[in-house]
Chain A
Amino acid sequence: MEDIKVTDNETVEQLRQDYENMQAEIADTDGIMDKIKAMIKNNKLATISLIVILIFCFCAIFAPVVAPHDPTLQDYDNVRAHPSRDHILGTDELGRDVFSRIIYGARISLVIGIVPTTISMVIGTILGLMAGFMGKKVDFVIMRLADIMLAFPSLLLAMVVMYTLGASLINIFIALSVVNWAGTARVVRSQTLALKEKEFVEAAESIGVKKSVIMLRHILPNCLPSLIVLFTMDIPGSILSESSLSFLGIGAQPPASSWGLMVVNGKQWLFSEPWVAIAPGVAILILVLAFNFLGDGLRDAIDPYMKE
């Protein structure tokens, strides 16, 4: 507090008021946005990861502008060329610029990463909320279903779906969405069960708020921190799944340039012209790591108890 000449009792009252005002302004701001800002300030790795992801998104959206060459342009004179000034990462087996194909491939990888994850999280959240809130029988049925889903290796399940439906991008979405909801459902269910006992939920019940409104207004928003973290950590899983499916031949089909496909096509020249397979592989690695580190950072910032 500044130096004030205090001489009389009126000033005492004024000082008291000033002090109270000052105390009132000090709000312990620690909402989600503040925590994220704090993370950006403190966690370099997570911030770098966030920037990397944003760069990839930018490339994906503005691919026609960013990519130096047309990714489908085949140049038989320049097949599997070494990296040069014209082709930063060389060319692939059909003479197409690898760098441009990676940039365009980011579109597919990001979309494959985000869309199925979003869908499976929505399914998982709804089922988790229902399991936690709607009584023992509903809980039993949903959780046994989740157990079944978790018992199968998800990649195998995805393959089964793909074989059944046929290989295409849409079918990949379906496969990955359907297969991955169980983890989210479990997390949301346990959070719901814990939140159900909290007094603010009892307060809402005593006011006469309907059950559905309680689930949406009171329980779901409080699951959000965990869901945000889960989201960023599930995305790399989807990206890797797509790469694996493509590697097995049942993922994206040419001429689409998904990174997984690029690795498959380039693997035969792994020791002679390694960049053809390695460049897309490294792209996968970087994007997956970035999401992982971002997820870690978010989790540490928002929900430290999840670590244990």
Chain B
Amino acid sequence: MMTKQIGDTLIRTVDLVKEFEISGGDFFGRNKPRVHATSNVNIQINKGETYALVGESGCGKSTLGRLMLKLIEPTSGHVEFEGININELPSEEMREIRKKMQIIFQDPYASLNPRMNVYDIIAEPLVTHHVCKTKDETKERVKELMERVGIRPEFINRYPHQFSGGQRQRIGIARALALQPQLIICDEPVSALDVSIQSQILNLLHDLQEEFNLTYLFISHDLSVVRYISDRVCVMFLGKVCEIGNTEDIFGNPLHPYTKFLIDAVPKPDPFLRKENKQLLHGDIPSPVNPPTGCRFHTRCPYAKDICSEIEPEMNNVDNKQVACHLI
């Protein structure tokens, strides 16, 4: 695989916190329980790289993706795109920035409007931002995009229900590419697809990155896919970052206990690698409504000490990685 040209910081988050209120609380609606989706998250993504966000349910990775795109507003903290604080931008200027960051979704059935045909779907970004001057030009561009992602241009008038899941995902990718963005957030883009289609889409994403010098934020719970496609990995648990590092370093020498258990837990497609006495992580994933005190992982961690339930660990630089754990 060609070595990538990785540049400076394209987008970063500064102390990003997002809390949701859910129903409950007292008669007057006070003291409603809050879901701590993300807490003081600081990450930065460099131009040209594929940055993966991994974690299990409740870790906040999807919320973080949407915060970065300003689809939802943070409770505190902000996001900087190319140095500009997007949370303080007026909506006109934000629309300009939106051209540079797009998103691909997990569910190929819900991510396309069933009442719009392929042309409408892919042309919408072009039309919204007045990219092309004439309708013919728009149509040409749409057909180009369709070919690039592997859908026959003759299908331009078809509707989503006439396509398979993998094809719909391709249409979603074409839509994301239309404005020639710099950053594409891929929110579990292959999780809902069959294995043989997964590999097609992953290869497509890889090729597109090379061709258009794209930066990906790849959100996934599937570690095998993450290992294949990403350059750097950020492991999250219950709204906090546990460990960040280069893919090879993370998989080769994971430091945070959670990372180790996560990698170990993945069922490997090779029976010769079966471990008779695999160490398993016990207990359930705690609820993000009442996260554990101190280090959020301590209730599941077999190595937890007293300090782990009292004080939240800071991010430290160890061994070319960033880790948040008292034991390291």
Partners in one complex: yes
> How many A residues, CB 8 Å from partner?
23
- Chain B contact-residue range equals 20 to 34
Q: Contact check: which of B71, B113, B129, B161 meets A31 at CB < 8 Å?
A: B161
Report the bound CA distance from A218 to B111 in whole Å: 12
Residue of A nearest to B96 (CB): A208
Give 1 or 0 for each of A52-95: 1 = CB within 8 Å of chain B CB: 00000000000000000000000000000000000000000000
The reply on B125 being an interface residue by CB < 8 A is yes
Closest chain-A Cβ to B184's Cβ sits at a distance in Å of 10
Judge whether A153 is part of the interface by a CB distance below 8 angstroms: no
CB neighbours of B280 from chain A (8 A): none
Instruction: Tell me, yes or no, whether B162 is within 8 Å of chain A by CB.
Output: yes
Residue B115 at the chain A interface, CB threshold 8 Å: yes
Cα-based distance from A206 to B179 in the complex (angstroms):
11
Is B159 in contact with chain A by the CB < 8 A criterion? yes
Asked if B107 and A208 sit within 8 Å, CB to CB, the answer is no
B98: which A residues are within 8 A, CB to CB?
206-208
Residue from B106, B110, B125 in contact with A200 in the complex, judged by beta carbons closer than 8 Å: B110
Kindly provide the distance from the CB of B220 to the nearest chain A CB, expressed in whole angstroms.
16
Is A29 close to B, CB under 8 A?
yes
* A222-B115 in contact given A199-B107, A202-B105, A203-B172 (Cβ < 8 Å): yes
Given contacts A31-B161, A202-B71, A207-B98, contact A24 B107 (CB under 8 A): no
Convert A23-36 into 0s and 1s, putting 1 for each residue whose CB lies closer than 8 angstroms to a CB of B.
01001111100000
Cross-chain contact of A222 among B71, B114, B152, B161 (Cβ < 8 A)? B114
- A198-B110, A202-B71 known; A208 and B95 CB under 8 Å? yes
Question: Which one of A200, A202, A213, A222 has the highest number of Cβ atoms from chain B below 10 Å of its Cβ?
Answer: A200
Q: Given the complex, which residues of B lie within 8 Å of A28, measured CB to CB? A: 161-162
- Given A24-B152, A206-B69, A207-B102, residue A30 in contact with residue B161 (CB < 8 A): yes
CB within 8 Å of B: which A178-211 residues:
198-200, 202-209
- B124 interface residue per 8 A CB criterion: yes
Contact present for B112 and A200 (CB under 8 Å): yes
Q: In the complex, A224→B69 CA distance in Å?
A: 30
Provide the residues of chain B in CB contact with A207, threshold 8 Å: 98, 102, 124-125, 128, 175, 179
B99 within 8 A of A: yes
CA distance A58 to B291 in the complex (A): 69
With both chains docked as a complex, state the minimum distance between the C-beta of A203 and any C-beta of chain B, in angstroms.
6
Query: Given A27-B158, A221-B115, A209–B124 Cβ distance below 8 Å?
Result: yes
Specify which of B113, B116, B129, B172 lies most central, judged by the most chain A CB atoms within 10 Å of its CB: B113
How close is B106's CB to chain A, nearest CB, in angstroms?
Answer: 8
B103 at the interface (CB under 8 A from A): yes
